Amino acid sequence: MNFADLHIHSVYSDGTLTPERIVRIARESGVGLISVCDHNVVEGTLAAAKLAPEAGLRCIPGVEIDAIFRGADIHILCYGADLANPALLSRIRHARAMLDGMSAELLERMLPDYPQLSPAEYESFPHDSARGGWKMLQYLQARDVTPDLKAALPLYERYGVTYAGAGFDPAEDVISAIHAAEGRAVLAHPGVTFPAEDLRALEAWVEAAFDLGLDGVECHYPRHSPGVTWRLIEICRRRGAMITAGSDCHGAFNRSEIGQTRTPISELQLNGLALS
């Protein structure tokens, strides 16, 4: 089990895999180092951290936090922090509330066009974690607004409900909270997040993000081209920063698989981050 995957989602956010299945699949896939990083919740990673040692895996507690940088939403992977730290938990819970608020806002804006929708009904609508996605996607499909979960995603942009306007905390504040809780802040999938037209433009974005206090970058990622991956690695090596790898697996809710990057643990740079 020589591979690492430090970006996996569970049923506690929008994935379809329980922590138990994540641990089992990781072991079967030769992944010996994992981190469950759910969107703005910590319960999944805490569960996985308890299960991993029994399966012979090493695990880093993590969480993926939405934040704003240069007017855009970015994802910050928090590793090894005290996830009971009140200030950090406050940031995480705020991000979750803002994320859920986007769906409530979308529903309000859609009501004139879709009379079959109801805020009261949505409030009591049961979210089926085994299907993946979040409650609004499932609700819109159940009310025949969309044929499937993914088809609901463009509706947010169509109705002007954006991540940038959701009210997430500034990235520098999130990073400070992570550091205060003795954790590390790693920029998730920059090759997807930043609207860079070429590698030099991407590098400029990443270098600016480092100035906020980042500890590293998720260099190995399924949607990064080889050129993007190596440019990110070069930046991290030059700065002595962390180099991580993640599949961003959501189970059946996306196409990536645990351990998909096939990145050996030896190719990571964790800068002394404690492994359990």
- Residue by residue, pLDDT tens for the chain (276 residues) are 899 999 999 999 999 999 999 999 999 999 999 999 999 999 999 999 999 999 999 999 999 999 999 999 999 999 999 999 999 999 999 999 999 999 999 999 999 999 999 999 999 999 998 899 999 999 999 999 999 999 999 999 999 999 999 999 999 999 999 999 999 999 999 999 997 778 999 999 999 999 999 999 999 999 999 999 999 999 999 999 999 999 999 998 888 999 999 999 999 999 998 776
Rounded to whole angstroms, the Cα distance separating 63 from 10 reads 11
With 0-12 / 13-18 / 19 or more C-beta atoms within 10 angstroms meaning exposed / middle / buried, residue 19 is: buried
Q: Which of 266, 196, 258 is nearest to 231 (CA)?
A: 196
| Cβ atoms of residues 109 and 117 within 8 Å | no
Domain that includes residue 105, residue range? 96-158
Residue with token string 């005290």: 82
The pTM of this model reads 0.94
Tokens matching residue 52: 């991993």
* Domain assignment of residue 136, yes or no: yes
* Domain assignment of residue 112, yes or no: yes
* Domain assignment of residue 36, yes or no: no
Chain centre to alpha carbon of residue 193: 12
pLDDT for 126: 94
Total count of domains within the chain: 1
* Domain assignment of residue 66, yes or no: no
Q: Which helix (H) or strand (E) holds 231?
A: helix 226-239
Q: Which amino acid is located at 10 in the chain?
A: S
pLDDT for 130: 85
Q: Which of 81, 62, 73 is nearest to 7 (CA)?
A: 62
| Cβ atoms of residues 244 and 203 within 8 Å | no
pLDDT for 271: 95
Alpha-carbon dihedral sign for residues 265, 8, 35, 86: positive
* Domain assignment of residue 154, yes or no: yes
* Domain assignment of residue 117, yes or no: yes
Q: Which helix (H) or strand (E) holds 120?
A: helix 119-124
Q: Which helix (H) or strand (E) holds 47?
A: helix 43-51
* Domain assignment of residue 139, yes or no: yes
| Cβ atoms of residues 73 and 163 within 8 Å | yes
* Domain assignment of residue 46, yes or no: no
Rounded to whole angstroms, the Cα distance separating 50 from 28 reads 18
Strand order in the sheet with 216-220: 62-69, 72-79, 184-187, 216-220, 242-245
